[in-house]
Structure 1
Amino acid sequence: MDYKRILQGILNIGESMLKSGAENFRLEDSLYRMCRSYGFVHSDVFIIPSNIQITVETPDGEILTQIRHVETTDIDFDRLDYLNNLCRYVCDNTPDEKTLREKYLEVLNRPKQHPAAKYFAGVMGGTGFAVFFGCNFMDAIVAVIVSLMIVIVGEWLSKREDNLLIYNMILAFLSEVIIIVMIRLGIGTHSDRIMIGIVMLLISALGTTNGIRDLLQRDFISGFLNIMNSFLGAAGIAFGIALAMLLLDDGTSNGFILNHSIPVQLISCTIACTGFALWFKIRGRQVLYSSVGAFFTWAIYLLVFYLRPSNFLATLVASVFVGFFAFIMSRINKAPSTIFLTASVFPLIPGPNLYYVMYGCVSRNINMAFSETLVLISTCLAIAFGFIIVDMVSRYIMSALKRDYHISKKNIVNNQ
């Protein structure tokens, strides 16, 4: 075999998986498995969110190194699913370089998501969470309009602006301007609650949660990069909102409250998470699984919080459920667990706290900024700890079944 081309093919798959939203440690596992299947004597894989490096020693004793720099990502869980299946195919069949290239191009050339899906996704996600966070009917109408604006302008802007701070700043500014103007016209009441739902479309605290998770797993570089990227996006939102408030001399904070009706909470968060499943380009029955996961995630949170009013404990227990749900669904569907985990965990993501941290800084309300920061960090920690608990238990279960759960260089060296 032409091992240079084989390594290039493996790296092509890895780069596309990273761009599509693969978790670092899962991607590392996939690359080590493919390298092992081709009989490389030694393999070294290094991954951070913007870079992939692989060094291998071929059976002939040749040392090969290839590096890829990843500038931008666009979450596409449907493509990630098919790339994951391609990894399985490679490990089972070890195709030659020509076949590997053909199979890779088949995945890249799959039909894209219907253009209308993103509009439904934006409206469902932004408006669903706006209702979830206490918006009334007229507020929801404003949320629909702003959500459609974000989809239309965001699609145009994404082709011209790669800087996340500027991208979020422009969209947040336009969103806040529309919200303030419509409330002045008598359409809508709670500007902050509307914006909280909209913020979920721009950036969530999921990046911070994944960053904390990476840090707890001693992947320090990836952890800090994820956290800093999340804060960069948050800063863009803060600047955009602040600029709109200053120019229009408006801006109020009534504080969000979850919808008083628990059925409405469950329905609205399920609709919103279904929208986010489509937003992340999940397709088919996996959208349904993500919606079911979100419904039960919030139901478990409410139950635990009712029995013991602790946001940290309720979030921890609910995130443990999400982790196991994603683990089971990934085995049933032979798909990456992150597909089911990402959309299902959204009801727990502290988007409102992120908004009020920014609002406190803009309005110079230090007490608000500090208190919301503490809640933000504790919630992210609870989610991260929940995921790690599931990861630990899953690893022990797979070990008891004598099946590989996570392949690393240490595993490969020990097997040689």
Structure 2
Amino acid sequence: MDYNRIIQGILDIGEAMLQSGAENFRLDDSLYRMCKSYGFKRYDVFVIPSNIQITVETPEGEIITQIRHIENTDVDYDRLDYLNNLSRYVCKNKPDEKELREKYLEVMGREKQHPAAKYFAGVMGGTGFAVFFGCDLMDAIVAVIVSLMIVIVGGWLSKREDNLLIYNLILAFLSEVIIITMTRLGIGSHADRIMIGIVMLLISALGTTNGIRELLQRDYISGTINIMNSMLGASGIAFGIALAMLLLDGVASEGFILNHSIPIQLISCTIACTGFAFWFKIRGRQVLYSSIGAFFTWAIYLVVYELEPSNFLATLVAAIFVGFYAFIMSRINKAPSTIFLTASVFPLIPGPNLYYMMFGCVSKNVALAFEETVVLLATCLAIALGFLVVDVVSRGIMRAMKTEYHIGKRSSR
């Protein structure tokens, strides 16, 4: 075989997986498995969100090193699912360089999601969470308009602006201006609650959660990069909201409140998370599994909070459920767990805390800003700890079943 082309093909798959939303440590494992399947004497893999490096020693003793720089990402979990299946195929069949390239192009050439799906996804996600956070009918109408604006302007802007801070700043600013203007015209009455729902379309708190999770697993470089990227995105949202508030003086806040009806909470968050499943380009029955996961995630949070009114504890228990649910679904469907994890965990993401943290800064309410910052970080930590508990337990289960959970560098020696 032409091992240089083989490594190039493996890197093609790895790059596409990372750009499609693969978790760093999962991709690391997939690359190691593909390298191992070709019988290299030794193989070393290094993965961070912006770079992949592979060095191998061929059966003939030749040393090959290839590096791939990752410039941008566009989450596409349907593509990730098929790339994951391709990595499994590679491990099982060890295709030559020509077949490997053909299989890769076949996956990359799959028919894309219908353009209309993005509009439905935005409306379902933004409006669903707006209702979840206590908006009435007129507020929901405003949320629909702003959600559509984010899809249209965001699609145009994404082709022209790679800086996440600037991208989020522009969209958050336009959203807040529209919301404040419409509420002052009498169309809608709860500007802050509408914006909280809209923020969920932009928020990158899951990046913070995954970053903390990676730090706890001693993947310091990737964890730091993910946290910094998340903070960059959150700063853009905060600056955009703050700028709109300062320009349109006199913005008031009624405070964060969930919809008073628990059934409406469950229905609205499920609809919103179904929208996010489409937003992340999930397709088929996996959309249904994501919706079911979101429903039970919030139901478990409510039950735990009723028994012990602690946001940290309720979030931790709900995150443990999400982690196990994603683990089980990934085994049943032979798909990456992140597909089922991401949309299902969204009811726990602290979007309201980010908004009120910024509101406290703009209104010079230091106590509010500090309080919301603490809750935001504590919530992210609770989610990360919940995922970590699942990771530890699932490794034990896989070992008991004598199944390799993560092969890593040790297997190359």
Counterpart of 1:83 in structure 2 is 83
Q: TM-score if structure 2 supplies the norm length?
A: 0.99
User: For 2:305 and 2:245, how far apart are their aligned partners in 1?
Assistant: 35
User: For 1:267 and 1:306, how far apart are their aligned partners in 2?
Assistant: 19
Counterpart of 1:11 in structure 2 is 11
Q: Is residue 204–residue 349 contact of structure 1 (8 Å, CA) maintained in 2?
A: no
User: For 2:81 and 2:14, how far apart are their aligned partners in 1?
Assistant: 13
Which residues in structure 2 correspond to 1:54-203 (within 5 Å)?
A: 54-203=54-203
Letter in 2 for 1:359: F
Q: Is residue 180–residue 250 contact of structure 1 (8 Å, CA) maintained in 2?
A: no
Q: Is residue 138–residue 187 contact of structure 1 (8 Å, CA) maintained in 2?
A: yes
Counterpart of 1:219 in structure 2 is 219
User: For 1:319 and 1:236, how far apart are their aligned partners in 2?
Assistant: 27
Unaligned ranges ≥5, structure 1 = none
User: For 1:199 and 1:109, how far apart are their aligned partners in 2?
Assistant: 33
Counterpart of 2:44 in structure 1 is 44
User: For 1:32 and 1:374, how far apart are their aligned partners in 2?
Assistant: 38
1:88-128 C-alpha deviation (Å, 9 max, x unpaired): 00000000000000000000000000000000000000000
Q: Is residue 24–residue 48 contact of structure 1 (8 Å, CA) maintained in 2?
A: yes
1:140-176 C-alpha deviation (Å, 9 max, x unpaired): 1100000000000000110111011111111111101
Q: Is residue 204–residue 351 contact of structure 1 (8 Å, CA) maintained in 2?
A: no
1:42-89 C-alpha deviation (Å, 9 max, x unpaired): 111111111111111111111111111111100000000000000000
User: For 1:38 and 1:104, how far apart are their aligned partners in 2?
Assistant: 17
Counterpart of 1:350 in structure 2 is 350
Counterpart of 2:208 in structure 1 is 208
| RMSD, aligned α-carbons | 0.8
SS in 2 for 1:46: strand
Q: Is residue 238–residue 354 contact of structure 2 (8 Å, CA) maintained in 1?
A: no
Unaligned ranges ≥5, structure 2 = none
Letter in 1 for 2:269: C
Q: Does the alignment pair 1:247 with 2:241? A: no
Letter in 2 for 1:98: K
Which residues in structure 2 correspond to 1:237-386 (within 5 Å)?
A: 237-386=237-386
SS in 2 for 1:320: helix
1:331-365 C-alpha deviation (Å, 9 max, x unpaired): 11000000000000000111111111222222222
User: For 2:211 and 2:400, how far apart are their aligned partners in 1?
Assistant: 29
User: For 1:322 and 1:230, how far apart are their aligned partners in 2?
Assistant: 21
Letter in 2 for 1:139: D
Structure 1 residue 412: Cα displacement? 3.1
Q: Is residue 24–residue 48 contact of structure 2 (8 Å, CA) maintained in 1?
A: yes
Letter in 2 for 1:262: I
1:379-403 C-alpha deviation (Å, 9 max, x unpaired): 1111111101111111011101111
User: For 2:375 and 2:22, how far apart are their aligned partners in 1?
Assistant: 28
SS in 2 for 1:201: coil
Identity %: 82
Q: Is residue 41–residue 412 contact of structure 2 (8 Å, CA) maintained in 1?
A: no
Structure 1 residue 250: Cα displacement? 3.5
SS in 2 for 1:198: helix
User: For 1:398 and 1:238, how far apart are their aligned partners in 2?
Assistant: 42
Q: Is residue 53–residue 68 contact of structure 1 (8 Å, CA) maintained in 2?
A: yes
User: For 2:95 and 2:60, how far apart are their aligned partners in 1?
Assistant: 18
User: For 1:37 and 1:323, how far apart are their aligned partners in 2?
Assistant: 29
Greater than 3 Å deviation, 4+ residue runs: none
